[in-house]
């Protein structure tokens, strides 16, 4: 399941109900003590209540209520839930989805108690007609009694079937309304459904910035705990098989005991009902531990904070690479507070790339908080969330074009005045590819710019950008810097945009690639060097109507044994990062007989001079 949103009410500084939306990569920005960490800790309490535990002092101090509400909204929930092997069901048929067909789970914590208690609810568009509003709480015999009283089909078996196919369908107006359905108390199928859902919730791993040093330093242990949780999620089928066998044997023994008891005292036996309670995922995680030792006999927690935090960097890099080949179904959320803490700028760049790689995986989400202008400026602008106070002092969370100036001002992100030319391209993979191509060409033609380190050229991503590019773009437009636009030749409407740029009178210019797209300029040997995969690289579409990214996607997916072919966007990313870097000037010229690529960089040189 994917986390779509979090809503906090009466939790610490969040007195009124406040909602934050999440993407695959989400970055929370704001001034000190404004409530950034509170968002991550609310999620930790919702999912685990371990690294951070709910406390009696967590209710907002200005509120008369001691009830804290933390609500998470999910997409990608399971299509089928089995609470009765003879009658599987799903959340939609049980009226347990919101109006937007999302799964909304609310946890209410009573902080009026020394140790806060928790009640769990599913917030859904559910029947409120009096006679059928509580069917999830009824036992099988009670449902059968309703069916009998309504003269419905008495042959229906299984609670879900009786609810759906008989009782609910027999009511003309269910009076559907958004209500809170209690699921944590022992109330028949409501609780059983929650137990099923709970097993599908994402794994949540929180990495805080202000941990103390001890022999079991959480700063190191948490990544390893996440590794254990990840491993368990990938052998869940085997665990389920073990639990099934234990259940069968345990129930067999319980039944034999029950039958023996009947022979001794049938009255006492009638009061017993064997129930099997398998261990929760959290209990499985607690069975295992792993630790890392360093060289020279120095305990890891005695090393510098920067070294310890680099364990986190290594974990992310390894996890990003592992997940490229993973078929794990359970989602993971990595929440990292101020990842720049104690890190050299070079390590921060490693972190950023690790975050981006992980967030590109469909079953992984990254949530960050940061104070670092350097880190934030490299992140996609659509990932940014700005936390601030409104005129009345209430906390609010904003995102979109209107808040970028506020974010830039808060973090101190400033435009780069060294920029002389704007290089406008479609997306981030184009930037990576063009930087590699320019570096290769400069190795042979020294007069050409190397865009990997030339601060005079700023890339502007026309289909999305980072905060740094947004700041530069808005600032530099006012200075009238010349622009060079380069778009792929795969969209008919792009020519009109290029014509418009070429009609300007500010030296700006543009062109479409003569080949289909930037990947069409790759040499097959560069792909072999990056992936040990040999494919055809057509200039346009091949005979089957496929472009280079699609051809590569199919070959790559087959090679690594993925059940489904990766998407073209991911294929483009892989090629940009691991194939284009192997291109040489000789490869480029072999693939580009018209010297088109060299001409791009000559035009940039012309605009610079």
What does the pLDDT read at residue 311?
Answer: 67
Mean predicted confidence (pLDDT) in 109-114: 94
For tokens 């305990």, name the residue.
299
What does the pLDDT read at residue 588?
Answer: 97
Structure confidence by residue, pLDDT tens digits, 531-544: 999 999 999 999 99
Mean predicted confidence (pLDDT) in 86-100: 89
Q: Are 374 and 345 in contact (CB under 8 A)?
A: yes
* Count of other CB atoms within 10 angstroms of residue 201: 20
- What share of the chain in percent tops pLDDT 90? 40
Distance CA 199, CA 77 (A): 11
Mean predicted confidence (pLDDT) in 540-567: 93
Structure confidence by residue, pLDDT tens digits, 126-142: 999 988 888 888 888 88
Please say if the pLDDT value at position 156 is more than 90. no
Mean predicted confidence (pLDDT) in 311-328: 56
DSSP summary character for residue 516 = S
Please say if the pLDDT value at position 176 is more than 90. yes
Q: Are 553 and 570 in contact (CB under 8 A)?
A: yes
Alpha carbon 18 to its chain's center: 20
Length of the chain: 609
Regarding beta strands 103-110 and 117-127, do their DSSP bridges make them parallel or antiparallel, or are they unpaired? antiparallel
Minimum mean pLDDT among 32-41, 90-99, 221-230: which range?
Answer: 221-230
Q: Are 495 and 513 in contact (CB under 8 A)?
A: no
Instruction: Locate 423 and state its tokens.
Output: 């290089």
Which of 108, 126, 125 is CA-nearest to residue 117? 108
For tokens 């990569």, name the residue.
25
Q: What is the dihedral of CA 243, 244, 246, 252, to 10 degrees?
A: 150
What does the pLDDT read at residue 42?
Answer: 97
Q: Are 80 and 34 in contact (CB under 8 A)?
A: no
Regarding beta strands 176-182 and 203-207, do their DSSP bridges make them parallel or antiparallel, or are they unpaired? unpaired
Which of 85, 155, 570, 523 is CA-nearest to residue 362? 570
Distance CA 46, CA 229 (A): 17
Structure confidence by residue, pLDDT tens digits, 467-525: 565 556 555 565 678 889 999 998 777 888 889 889 988 888 999 999 999 999 999 99
Q: Using DSSP, state whether 3 is helix, strand or coil.
A: strand
What does the pLDDT read at residue 385?
Answer: 92
Q: Are 364 and 37 in contact (CB under 8 A)?
A: no
Which of 11, 97, 140, 40 is CA-nearest to residue 367? 40
What does the pLDDT read at residue 279?
Answer: 65
Please say if the pLDDT value at position 271 is more than 80. no
DSSP summary character for residue 108 = E
Q: Using DSSP, state whether 605 is helix, strand or coil.
A: helix
What does the pLDDT read at residue 584?
Answer: 97
Distance CA 529, CA 324 (A): 18
Minimum mean pLDDT among 33-37, 211-215, 257-261, 555-559: which range?
Answer: 211-215
Mean predicted confidence (pLDDT) in 15-34: 91
Domain ranges of the chain: 2-201, 421-608
Structure confidence by residue, pLDDT tens digits, 189-227: 888 899 889 988 988 878 776 544 344 445 445 556 666
Confidence of residue 403 (pLDDT cuts 50, 70, 90): confident
Q: Are 27 and 370 in contact (CB under 8 A)?
A: yes
What does the pLDDT read at residue 100?
Answer: 94
What are the C-alpha distances in Å from 579 to residues 66, 220, 450? 57, 34, 18
What are the C-alpha distances in Å from 312 to residues 226, 227, 257, 315, 422? 11, 12, 51, 5, 35
Please say if the pLDDT value at position 262 is more than 70. yes
**Cα-Cα-Cα-Cα dihedral sign, residues 387, 206, 310, 232:** negative
Mean of all residue pLDDT scores within the chain? 83
Please say if the pLDDT value at position 174 is more than 50. yes
The arrangement of strands across the sheet holding 18-21 comes to 18-21, 2-9, 67-75, 103-110, 117-127, 176-182
HEC letters along 301-333: HHCCHHHHHHHHHHHHHHHHHHHCCCCCCCCEE
Which of 332, 333, 373, 331 is CA-nearest to residue 352? 373
What does the pLDDT read at residue 213?
Answer: 38
- Write the DSSP string, 338-372: -TTTT--HHHHHHHHHHHHHHHTSTTEEEEEEE--
Regarding beta strands 483-487 and 421-425, do their DSSP bridges make them parallel or antiparallel, or are they unpaired? parallel
Instruction: Locate 189 and state its tokens.
Output: 């199928």
Confidence of residue 413 (pLDDT cuts 50, 70, 90): low
Regarding beta strands 25-29 and 364-370, do their DSSP bridges make them parallel or antiparallel, or are they unpaired? parallel
Regarding beta strands 2-9 and 332-337, do their DSSP bridges make them parallel or antiparallel, or are they unpaired? unpaired
109 or 338, greater pLDDT = 109
Instruction: Locate 95 and state its tokens.
Output: 């009226």
What does the pLDDT read at residue 215?
Answer: 40
Confidence of residue 252 (pLDDT cuts 50, 70, 90): confident
Could you tell me which CATH number the domain at 2-201 has?
3.40.50
What does the pLDDT read at residue 293?
Answer: 58
């Amino acid at each position: 399941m994917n986390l779509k949103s979090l809503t906090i009410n009466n939790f610490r500084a969040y007195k009124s109900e406040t909602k934050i939306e999440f993407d695959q990569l989400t970055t929370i920005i704001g001034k000190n003590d404004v409530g950034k960490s509170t968002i991550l800790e609310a999620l930790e309490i919702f999912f685990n209540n371990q690294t951070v535990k709910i406390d009696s002092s967590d209710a907002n101090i200005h509120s008369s209520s001691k009830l804290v509400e933390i609500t998470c909204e999910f997409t990608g929930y399971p299509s089928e839930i089995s609470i009765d092997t003879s009658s599987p069901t799903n959340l939609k048929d049980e009226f347990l989805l919101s109006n937007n067909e999302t799964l909304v789970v609310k946890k209410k914590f009573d902080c009026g108690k020394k140790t806060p208690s928790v009640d769990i609810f599913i917030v859904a568009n559910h029947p409120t007609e009096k006679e059928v509003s509580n069917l999830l709480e009824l036992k099988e015999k009670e449902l059968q009694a309703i069916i009998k009283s309504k003269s419905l089909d008495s042959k229906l078996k299984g609670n879900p079937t009786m609810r759906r196919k008989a009782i609910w369908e027999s009511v003309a107006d269910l009076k559907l309304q958004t209500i809170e359905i209690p699921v944590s108390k022992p109330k028949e199928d409501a609780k059983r459904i929650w137990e099923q859902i709970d097993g599908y919730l994402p794994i949540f791993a929180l990495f805080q910035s202000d941990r103390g040093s001890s022999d079991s330093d959480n700063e190191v242990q948490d990544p390893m705990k996440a590794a254990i949780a990840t491993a368990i999620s990938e052998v869940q089928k085997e665990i389920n098989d073990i639990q099934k066998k234990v259940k069968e044997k345990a129930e067999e023994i319980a039944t034999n005991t029950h039958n023996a008891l009947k022979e001794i005292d049938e009255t006492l036996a009638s009061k017993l009902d064997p129930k099997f309670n398998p261990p929760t995922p959290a209990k499985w995680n607690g069975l295992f531990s792993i630790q890392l030792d360093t060289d020279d006999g120095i305990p890891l927690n005695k090393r510098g904070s920067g070294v310890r935090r680099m364990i986190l960097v290594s974990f992310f890099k390894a996890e990003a690479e592992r997940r490229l080949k993973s078929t794990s179904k359970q989602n993971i959320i990595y929440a990292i507070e101020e990842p720049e803490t104690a890190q050299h700028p070079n390590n921060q760049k490693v972190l950023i790339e690790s975050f981006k790689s992980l967030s590109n995986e469909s079953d992984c989400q990254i949530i960050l908080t940061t104070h670092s202008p350097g880190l934030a400026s490299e992140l996609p602008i659509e990932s940014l969330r700005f936390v601030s106070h409104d005129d009345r002092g209430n906390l609010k969370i904003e995102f979109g074009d209107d808040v970028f100036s506020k974010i830039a001002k808060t973090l101190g992100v400033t435009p780069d005045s060294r920029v002389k030319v704007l290089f406008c391209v479609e997306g981030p993979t184009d930037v990576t590819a063009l930087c590699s191509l320019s570096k290769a060409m400069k190795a042979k033609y020294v007069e050409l710019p190397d865009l990997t380190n030339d601060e005079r050229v700023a890339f502007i991503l026309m289909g999305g950008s980072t905060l740094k590019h947004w700041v530069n773009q808005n600032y530099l437009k006012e200075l009238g810097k010349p622009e060079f636009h380069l778009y792929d030749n795969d969209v008919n409407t792009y020519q009109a945009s290029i014509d418009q740029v070429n009609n300007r009178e500010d030296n700006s210019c543009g062109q479409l690639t003569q080949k289909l797209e930037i990947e069409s300029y790759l040499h097959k040997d560069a792909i072999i060097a990056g992936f040990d995969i040999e494919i055809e690289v057509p200039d346009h579409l091949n005979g089957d109507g496929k472009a280079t990214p699609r051809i590569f996607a199919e070959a790559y997916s087959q090679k690594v044994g993925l059940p489904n072919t990766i998407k073209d966007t991911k294929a483009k990313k892989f090629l940009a990062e691991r194939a284009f870097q192997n291109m040489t000037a000789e490869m480029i010229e072999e693939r580009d007989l018209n010297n088109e690529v060299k001409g791009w960089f000559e035009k940039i040189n012309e605009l610079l001079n």
